[in-house]
Structure 1
Amino acid sequence: MRLTPDVPAPERIDFLLLPRFAMVAFFSAIEPLRIANRIQGETLFEWRLIGRDGEPVVASNGMTLAVDHALDEAPLAPSLAVCASFEPEATIDQTLVDWLRKRAAAGCRLGGMDTGCFVLAAAGLLDDQTVTLHWESLPEFRARFPGIDAVESLYEVTPEGFSCAGGSSSIDMSLDLIRRRHGRELAERVRDQLVHDQGRGPASRQRDPAAPEDPTLHRALALMDANLESPLEIRRLAEELDLSWRRLDRLFARHLGTSPQRAYLARRLDHARRLLQETRHTVMDVALACGFASASSFTRAFRQRHGMTPSELRQRH
């Protein structure tokens, strides 16, 4: 999953499956690559599965998956994704640590899926990197490895490595890889085949905020939060809720004391503030992740909401 676009096809990616790995994250990473091969009519990506002893590996859902190689016989690939989920540290021993270190020393780019970064961090392979994990595991990871910048984003791709939060975020990371290697048009065609909603950037949120008590208001805010990068028109929002525009206005006025437009903008700008504080994404990346087409309009709205520019907030943190 290198950043440079001049990687010859087929690009080879290894997946290390650890016991109780998250199968949904693994398959979500593989399927976009398979579909890209089919659409293009040639093998753009190849993948191999690695297990510790070469025996089938049991996933967190109880299903087993056969692998291609054991650790001691697996050939070197340019990239390796460590797939884990529950209790990732239970699988760590000196044999695995040494194997991962040898891969890194040989030039293999390492990444973690779901909780895979626990394993890479225990091997000392994530120093001075920005990584992400499933939100549920972030507090424990930060406590165990305070020197590693762990953020709550969907995925991270850096010159040093890559990581994703698991679940459907694996789709977004693979779509990003396809886009960087083979262009936006192919990535969009793959996304359409997956019936995946608009492609999310790495700075997108992993989860929704706490829900309000009113179920209709909850649905309205959930729709807003699901469309931060490409905000819905308020008329479209009302149609999705099967409400008139006036009823939607009254709903927000009664419960939040504001209009839907202002509430939507506030949520986008509050999300932007969290991203600026908790990630290293550029101001422009954060602006795009929050539905702003230009840095100037983002800066102006951000100052009105938070009393300072995005750059000033960054300097304080």
Structure 2
Amino acid sequence: MRLHPPVPAPERIGFLLLPRFAMVAFFSAIEPLRIANRISGRPLFRWDVISRDGEPVMASNGMTLSATCAMAEAPPSPSLAVCASFEPEAAIDDTLLDWLRERAAAGCLLGGVDTGCFVLAAAGVLEDQTVTLHWESLPEFRARFPCIDAVESLYEITPEGFSCAGGSSAIDMSLDLIRRRHGDDLAGQVRDQLLHDQGRRPASRQRDPATPDDPVLNRAIALMEANLETPLGIRELAAELDLSWRRLDRLFARHLGTSPQHAYLARRLDHAHRLLRETRHSVMDIALACGFASASSFTRAFRRRHGVTPSALRQRP
């Protein structure tokens, strides 16, 4: 997915699959390339499916996918995508980080699919880049790596790297690659084969805004999601929006049928739910990451929201 200089066809792309990767995102990245090859009648793209040891990798849906090679045997390629989803940091160790740094030093353009940027950030190869991840993972990523510009877009492609939010956004990223390499006509033909929406651009939001006609409410929600670990007071939130707290309260009541306090708490607790299911952080660490000062207050609030205690949720299969 390198932008400059052009890469001659067939262009080789590596896909490193980490345990519990998002299969839908991986296939969404591959299929446009396969269709482009078929329509053009020649191999414009080739790809290597890489695993740690060359063995099959289990995806988040419980299915396994065969790899074509192990990391140590992977051929050089201009670009490499790290494909992850749940618990990306569980796969991190010195061997993986060193291998990614070696690839970067050799001139390989590195990118992340879904939560792959967690691994790339841990390897220290995302300095001065703008990246995107799945919207559920953005608050944790921003807290862990505050110096990296992480945005809620479908995908990002720069001369330094690339990333996409997972799911069908990988289709958009691959279509963009096809367009850059081989023109609008081929990209349009591939898009038609996929029956894919023509209107999605890199900066498109991953989710529909809560209230498309009220940008102030959208800004309020964005501020809440950006401050989950150290929640803003409602008066402080209103001041950031240049509103009175009474007007902010009326805004939430009119559009969402709830108060700003309840909406903010719900977002913190939903984020905690995801962290409990998808990470290995302790309950106390998750409580602190979601703005709770004690485990007891966190447990009470979590149970009211989700009908189960954090510890009991962890024990569920």
Indicate whether the TM-score tops 0.5.
yes
Q: 1:153-209: CA deviations, max 9, x gaps?
A: 000000100000000000000000000000001000000000011141100010012
Residue ranges of structure 2 left out of the alignment (5+ in a row): 227-317
Equivalence map 1:180-199=2 (5 Å): 180-199=180-199
CA distance in 1, matches of 2:210, 2:162: 29
CA distance in 2, matches of 1:157, 1:188: 19
Equivalent in the alignment of 1:254:
none
CA distance in 1, matches of 2:104, 2:172: 25
| TM-score (ref. length: structure 2) | 0.67
Report the AA paired with residue 205 of structure 1.
R
Question: Helix, strand or coil for the counterpart of 2:136?
Answer: helix
Equivalence map 1:23-172=2 (5 Å): 23-172=23-172
Report the AA paired with residue 112 of structure 1.
G
Question: Helix, strand or coil for the counterpart of 2:206?
Answer: coil
CA distance in 2, matches of 1:199, 1:92: 36
Report the AA paired with residue 164 of structure 2.
C
CA distance in 2, matches of 1:73, 1:182: 30
Report the AA paired with residue 102 of structure 2.
K
Sequence identity, in percent?
79
Equivalent in the alignment of 1:229:
none
CA distance in 1, matches of 2:197, 2:75: 36
Tell me by how many angstroms 1:210 deviates: 2.7
Question: Helix, strand or coil for the counterpart of 1:15?
Answer: strand
CA distance in 2, matches of 1:131, 1:210: 23
CA distance in 2, matches of 1:163, 1:134: 10
Q: 1:240-271: CA deviations, max 9, x gaps?
A: xxxxxxxxxxxxxxxxxxxxxxx5xx77xx89
After superposing the two structures, state which structure 1 stretch, 192-201 or 13-22, moved more.
Answer: 192-201
**After the TM superposition, which segments of 4 or more aligned residues of structure 1 sit over 6 Å from their partners?**
none
Tell me by how many angstroms 1:5 deviates: 6.4
Tell me by how many angstroms 1:4 deviates: 2.8
CA RMSD of aligned residues (A): 1.7
Residue ranges of structure 1 left out of the alignment (5+ in a row): 212-220, 222-262, 279-317
Q: 1:74-96: CA deviations, max 9, x gaps?
A: 11111000000000000000000
CA distance in 1, matches of 2:180, 2:210: 35
CA distance in 2, matches of 1:48, 1:82: 12
CA distance in 1, matches of 2:176, 2:23: 20
- 8 A Cα contact 1:5 1:181, kept in partner: no
CA distance in 1, matches of 2:16, 2:132: 18
Report the AA paired with residue 122 of structure 1.
A
Report the AA paired with residue 84 of structure 1.
A
Equivalent in the alignment of 1:3:
3
Question: Helix, strand or coil for the counterpart of 1:47?
Answer: strand
Equivalence map 1:231-242=2 (5 Å): none
Tell me by how many angstroms 1:3 deviates: 1.2
Tell me by how many angstroms 1:6 deviates: 2.5
Report the AA paired with residue 203 of structure 2.
A
- 8 A Cα contact 1:172 1:199, kept in partner: no
| TM-score (ref. length: structure 1) | 0.67
